[in-house]
Amino acid sequence: MMSPTDLQSTSEIGLAPTNSPGKVDKRMRLIRLLESLTQSLSPSFPDLIPHSVNVASKLRDNKFNLVVVGQFKRGKSTLVNALVGDDILPTAVVPLTSIITILRYGSEEKITVAFAGDVSEVITREQLPDFVTEKRNPNNLKKVESVHIALPCSFLEGGVQLVDTPGVGSVYAHNTDAANHFLPESDATIFLMTADQPLSIGEVEFLRNVREHVTKIFFVLNKVDMLNETEKQEAADFIRDSLSREMAVPKDNIRLFLVSSKTALKARLQGEKKLEAESHIHALESSLMQFLNEEKSTVMVSSAARRARRIAAEASTLAKLRLKAYSESSESLRNKVDEFRKFRAEIHRRQEDISRVIYTAYNIVTMVEEDRVLFEDKTLPKLEARFDEIAAQYRSSNAPDLIDQLNKAIVSLVTEVVDKWRADEEAKVREKFNSEVKDLYGRMNELIDDVYQHAAELFDVEFQRLEEYPLFNDESEFYYFILEDIKPSLEQLSDAVVKRLPRGIARHLIVRKQKETLRIEFDRQCGRARYDIVQRIDKSMLKLGKAFSDSVNGHLARIEEIIGDAMSMREKNVSETSGKVKEYEAALHIMSRLEAEFSALEK
């Protein structure tokens, strides 16, 4: 029986089976077009040739990349292990995987590490953590580009490559970069979320990036063994509502698989069929296999055509830029060089002015501090009153039991009110932050518009705009450690009062001592929540400033490259320049035609 979260996606309807003659024809036609693209890229666009060759090779070898993606600590490696029925990939509760790891079919197990510089090494299973984990290969000091694992697994037959990617959003920025850089290689993805942290803002942003490269996404909610049935349904409804809103599709068309990959892997390693059924891995696996059997070829061709079209489009843009530059006279180019130098200096001055505004917009931090003080002043009396009520309920308890109950009360009372304040303050800060930086957007866009305008005046070309800037950072490192910190001191108090004081006096001393602990812990956790929010404000400011700086500098660098190339060509003889013009005119004609043909094959 189909569960409420096991619904048919609109992208899974109406596709022909894999052995359709039309699919074979489209695949062979696309391979031929890619061969033509590769030939046409030489000698004008040599830097793009490896990309074209890679797309053609992948299509020719019938390789299909099913890529597992998600934020860190979502259990991606465990899910991959469960799907292949082998605990070959290392797993842990900390951000672990740091290297792209590709699993493919092989009659015998073989693990190959690919290093920078086109060097590879065959290793054993026991050596794998030395290369793919953050702990043993921090910041990828060993310069590993990827790891390839061949396994005799039926799930991987037919050219399927199951790809485990580093988690995004952790403190290791290079992990996020590695995951993002591999997305263009994806044909379909498994987007992993977890029941304990369902769908953060960071995941939504990453999902938007995923959708730019793939149209087929399997949504999986992992770690559902942590929830009861009611909680599962609530988590599923929340995620499906969020996905529906973000993807602009009806909620009932979102297919979400609820699984426990940890339970599934344990069951398969131990051969426990009942436990395997409880993990709900079968529903996901069945859908994946149906997709691979019926839709893989169509998706593969569409994905390859999309990547090929982008390559041809980039080559077309480069050809237009060069042709425009070559049409300029030597005198005109010299004038443009002088003009550009003045323009660049002015842009940098204005850029610095805006950057100073970005990094001095810290009145929000003052607001957070004032809010914290006000919150503590208003909340502490109420906390103390609730604490007194709880203490009165245990007036007949012995000292150890009283300490234990009040200890639990401190943790519960403090975390409850701090969590509420923190959530409210985050919403307030997000609104304030976005309002503050919104005024900066106008100045930023005006500056970038000037770069575009100047580029248009120089060469009449268009550059890709930065559509939006990142706003408030939703990543948080906040956690509580009240229980671990206060328990030892309370246990020492227990020994002292139990052994030396009368029961009534001991009880009075315990309550007074723990009430003081309540005040201390409340103040400390409020301070930690404030610090967490302030740190995120700082990260958001830095991210905003970097995005702005990178955008402006990137556009300026491209203009400099165009002028430099044109000046270099003007120093050569007329016949050589004329030959280059003809070369780029021919290339532009070919790329425009190929772009249209690749676009037709995407559909």
Specify whether 208 is located in the same domain as 120.
Answer: yes
* pLDDT classification of 437: cutoffs 50, 70, 90: low
Q: Are residues 172 and 288 in the same domain?
A: yes
For residue 126, being part of any structural domain is answered with: yes
pLDDT tens string 214-271? 878 999 999 998 888 888 888 888 888 888 887 778 888 888 999 999 999 999 999 9
Residue range 319-371, pLDDT digits in tens: 876 787 777 777 777 777 788 788 888 888 877 777 666 655 557 788 888 99
Run of H or E residues at 111: strand 110-115
Asked if residue 356 and residue 242 are part of one domain, the reply reads no
Q: Supply the DSSP symbol for 542.
A: H
Q: Is 36 inside a domain boundary?
A: no
For residues 158 and 228, membership in a common domain is answered with: yes
CB 28 within 8 A of CB 13: no
Number of helices and strands in the chain (H, E): 17, 9
Residue 526 falls inside a structural domain: yes
520 lies in the same domain as 401: yes
Per-residue DSSP letter, 136: T
512-549 as b/e: b if 16+ CB within 10 A: ebbbebbbebbeebbebbbebbbebbeebbeebbeebe
Residue at 246: amino acid letter: E
Last residue of a domain, one of 266, 293, 320: 293
State the CATH number of the domain containing residue 121. Answer: 3.40.50.300
Domain interval for residue 388: 329-571
Can you give the length of the chain in residues?
603
Q: Are 354 and 443 a contacting pair, CB within 8 Å?
A: yes
Output the pLDDT for position 570.
64
Query: How large is the average pLDDT for residues 142-153?
Result: 92
Evaluate whether 70 touches 79 at the Cβ level (below 8 Å).
no
15 vs 321, more confident? 321
Residues 94 and 197 grouped into a single domain: yes
Q: Does residue 508 form part of some domain?
A: yes
> Would you say residue 318 lies in a domain?
no
Q: Check residue 381 and give its pLDDT.
A: 94
Up-side HSE of residue 42: CA atoms within 13 Å toward CB? Answer: 10
Q: Are 437 and 542 contained in the same domain?
A: yes
User: Residue with structure tokens 């061709």?
Assistant: 301
3-class DSSP assignment, residue 537: helix
Q: Which residue has 């409340």 as its token pair?
A: 522
Cα distance from N-terminal residue to C-terminal residue, the chain: 33
Q: 320 in a domain, yes or no?
A: no
Task: Examine the domain organization and report whether 235 and 365 are in the same domain.
Answer: no
- Mark whether 286 and 413 lie in a shared domain: no
Closest listed residue to residue 414, CA positions, set 528, 534, 512: 528
* Number of independent structural domains in the chain: 2
In a domain, 1, yes or no: no
Q: How confident is the model at residue 383 (pLDDT cuts 50, 70, 90)?
A: very high
Are 273 and 163 found together in one domain? yes
pTM of the shown model = 0.56
Residue 309 near residue 602 (C-beta atoms within 8 A): yes
